[in-house]
Structure 1
Amino acid sequence: MEWRGRRESSNIEDQRGSGGGFGGGGGGMRIPIRAGGGGIGLLIILGILWIGFGINPMSVIGMDDGTSSSQTQTAQRGPGVDGTADETDNFIAVVLGDTEDVWNRRFQDMGRQYRDPTLVLFTDRVSSACGNASSASGPFYCPNDQKLYLDTSFFRQLDRDLGASGDFAQAYVIAHEVGHHVQNMTGILQRTTEMRQRMSEAESNAVSVRVELQADCYAGIWAHDTQQAGYLEKGDLEEALNAASRIGDDTLQRRSQGTVVPDSFTHGTSAQRVEWFRRGATSGDMNQCDTFNGRI
């Protein structure tokens, strides 16, 4: 992705080094945490349900099959992996600024007003209006304060533990969380939260999957517009599609426990996540991101 020298968003709040609460709130993408040492480490995946706070997170253990390190040695890594801290911050600010440009224009075309979210950078743990969270929760969006939360160590884990390399894989993560903000602006999050409060856990999980897949599709919409603007480089879309595939519920469960439990899915299968991101990136049409009617 061509990002150097471009406009950077000012809607960033740096809380790194400021401490914060510790707990299990929040919601967004799942993140692997390496525990133990030597050989094949133990990875713990905490899958947080992003919308209906209060639903127990899904814990998945033992992800690393020893293939990720060899895959990432030859892959092109993004600024959040091997770059300087300043470079990573600049990259994040440019991606966030790009999402602001895309969604402000999109909402204007719909005759609506878009409010830019704030992105909070934190280390280890953070307190949000949705509760306290640790880095184990992964990047997440809180509709109560309209903020995205990101510990940039997630980028290194995405690359080294999951084999999802490249700057556009990282940009996809940010764009996915911004997709939840778009859902908040359009009222989707409020409606689905109310729905899930009246459902069984399995039914609630199924709604969560549709919410997450729509956020993937909205990330694809952003990628479409960024490509049209001429900022994508060869291989960028493939990096995002690879990242979407690596974090599917079925892939994570199969690698961690050897079995797949569909009723516990909260984000969708690898195939679904790839399909809905691709649908947004190919069509550029928000109407194509309706995950709530028909099969997904």
Structure 2
Amino acid sequence: MNGADLLFVDELSVRYRAGAFSRRKDVHAVNGVSFSVKEGETIGIVGESGCGKSTLGQAILGLVPVTDGRIHFKGTAGNEPRARIQIVFQDPQASLDPRLPAWRLITEPLHIQGGLSNRELVERAGELAAAVGLRPDHIDRYAHEFSGGQRQRIAIARALSLEPALLVLDEPTSALDVSVQAQIVNLLLNLQATRRLSYVLISHDVALVRHLADQVAVMYLGQIVEIGAAADVLGQARHPYTRALLDSVPSFEHPLVSTPARAGELPSNRNLPTGCFFRDRCPSAATGCEQPQVLRRLADGRSVRCHRAV
């Protein structure tokens, strides 16, 4: 993909407190993350639960305040929500109002903006429904009358209603049956090709990321520890955490999922480790790991937060 940069995240950090009256230390959810996404490109954000990938997606959308850093969209800096960035959530049923027919669900963002009659909204809903593979007669039904896959199609149609340039896909297939997941993946690929969409794909599903992503960013404790072309990162990982994460993916030969690191608990994101964040869980820890690690660009173009990576 050789398009212009659409999204540039620059040293982004997100910290927050557990409650308004809490005396506990701040939660360091995202810690100095930088990456860019070109027009028509997909970046996959992967990492174990609690690594900060969902908070990162929310920050891009303007749903959580940014503590430090900047988000540039189409060359303009700012952290406020943008109409041309939309989200598709993990659970379509939870994100759809059961009191509204499908045509209202699909056009809810347009309804909020105002300026269109109900007849125009119904017409637009029919066009969007067709774009995601739903029949015109579906738009008068309610969410409970649809299958899980159909509900996710409605959610995708709603995200498309404001003609976004970028979609944040937060675990878009994890709540669906395996038989339906491939259909949604193919739909997303088709929409990307026909509408020149860019995706930020947040997922723990390495197979999904491998299928959809052009580049991959691996997160650990709020930091990116490895980022580069998907084929490189997923094919021959350079960071010890990336290797451990990939080794934990079940296969026919190794169906049991192992812990993506050596023995030891995930460090607290209230008291961040000194030096390499992964040091205490890393099977390859050595002298030098006690020092702060920076993302270093390697010869193949990827960047790795490990002084031993070559």
Normalising by structure 2, report the TM-score: 0.27
Larger Rg: 2
More helix by share: 1
More strand by share: 2
Normalising by structure 1, report the TM-score: 0.27
